[in-house]
């Protein structure tokens, strides 16, 4: 029995038809033809192992199993690999998967780019906060005069930065939702969002970003001495100037690297899309020579 079906693009098990090999003679004949002498048999077999069973134990038994049922010649030319179902989508290159879905290195690349952009934003916040520190110097001096400890001042400034990070979360969600269709079209992939499932992670992430961005301004502002502030002898930019300059250099350096990388990737994708292939692509049909089956 053959039933045609359209596979879901979000599924790693994609097929155009289902064939039973129990009673139909034609599929059995095809299977026997494949299994006899061919050294390349692109067949995926799904195996349910007992809970707690180590897949390495089964992998060690596969060569003996092949030699027993297929012969020593086929066993020497073929190797079977076990791959967890949870790794099929992102580890197709690493685990010898037969079909191409995605690559975990893409996730690492985009994560690294996101970290660089986030660091640039945090450094920009630090520079702006320390640049306007003179305007809050008198506040710090008065608080210390009336008995505030440095830990209390640090907690206050860190709390302010975390509050700003939480205010930025809804804005980030909105901008991501607007930019997602254009980004998915640019990279040629279907991307879906699951914000509700990631809310706890986003909350933790906002706390970390707030602490990171507000750490240097908090420690910097809390070091002001009340006497210097109230006497008006505090000069802007005299403390930690080398550190702030280093932050500015890193910020501009990371921005330049990201801009250059973006330009290179954009030019490469444009080249792939617009390069003249030497023939008319319209009305052309590509037919694969080989196909593979999934044994259940």
User: Between vectors from CA 28 to CA 31 and to CA 81, what angle results, nearest 5°?
Assistant: 35
pTM comes to 0.65
Extents of the domains making up the chain: 1-37, 104-274
Q: What is the pLDDT along the chain (296 residues), one digit of tens a residue?
A: 444 444 456 676 766 666 665 566 666 666 666 555 555 555 677 888 888 888 888 888 888 888 888 788 877 877 777 888 888 777 766 666 656 667 788 788 888 888 888 888 888 888 887 777 767 777 777 777 777 777 888 888 888 888 988 998 888 888 888 888 887 776 666 777 767 777 888 888 889 888 888 888 877 777 777 666 666 655 555 556 677 778 788 888 888 888 898 899 888 878 887 888 777 777 788 776 655 544 44
- Beta strands 293-295 and 43-45, pairing class: parallel
Judge contact between 32 and 43, C-beta under 8 A: no
Asked if residues 217 and 154 have their Cβ atoms less than 8 Å apart, the reply is no
User: Tokens 């109230």 — which residue?
Assistant: 230
Count the alpha carbons within 13 Å of 251 in the hemisphere toward its beta carbon: 16
Q: Beta-carbon neighbour count of residue 203 at 10 Å?
A: 13
Q: What is the pairing mode between strands 293-295 and 17-19?
A: unpaired
CA-to-CA separations, 166 to 190, 211, 219, 256, in angstroms, rounded: 29, 12, 21, 28
CA 180 to chain centre: 14
């Amino acid at each position: 029995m053959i039933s045609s079906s359209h596979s879901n693009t979000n599924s790693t098990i994609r097929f155009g038809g289902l064939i039973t090999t129990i009673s139909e003679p034609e599929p059995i004949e095809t299977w026997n033809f494949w299994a006899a002498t061919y050294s390349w048999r692109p067949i995926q077999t799904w195996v349910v192992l007992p809970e707690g069973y180590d897949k390495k134990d089964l992998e060690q038994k596969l060569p003996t199993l092949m030699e027993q049922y297929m012969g020593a010649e086929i066993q020497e030319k073929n190797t079977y690999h076990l791959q967890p179902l949870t790794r099929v989508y992102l580890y197709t290159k690493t685990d010898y998967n037969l079909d191409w879905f995605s690559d975990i290195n893409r996730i690492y690349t985009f994560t690294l780019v996101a970290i660089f952009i986030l660091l640039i934003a945090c450094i920009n916040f630090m520079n702006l906060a320390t640049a306007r520190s003179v305007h809050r110097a008198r506040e710090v001096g008065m608080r210390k005069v009336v008995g505030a400890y440095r830990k209390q001042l640090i907690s206050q400034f860190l709390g302010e930065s975390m509050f700003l990070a939480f205010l930025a979360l809804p804005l980030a969600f909105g901008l991501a939702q607007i930019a997602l269709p254009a980004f998915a079209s640019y990279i040629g992939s279907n991307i879906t969002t699951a914000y509700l499932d990631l809310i706890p992670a986003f909350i933790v992430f906002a706390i970390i970003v707030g602490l990171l961005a507000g750490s240097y301004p908090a420690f910097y502002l809390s070091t002001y001495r009340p006497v210097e502030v109230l006497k008006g002898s505090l000069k802007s930019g005299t403390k930690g100037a080398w550190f702030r300059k280093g932050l500015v250099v890193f910020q501009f350096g990371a921005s330049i690297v990201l801009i250059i990388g973006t330009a290179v990737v954009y030019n490469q994708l444009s080249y792939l899309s617009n390069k003249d292939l030497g023939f008319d692509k319209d009305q052309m049909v590509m037919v694969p020579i080989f196909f593979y089956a999934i044994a259940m």
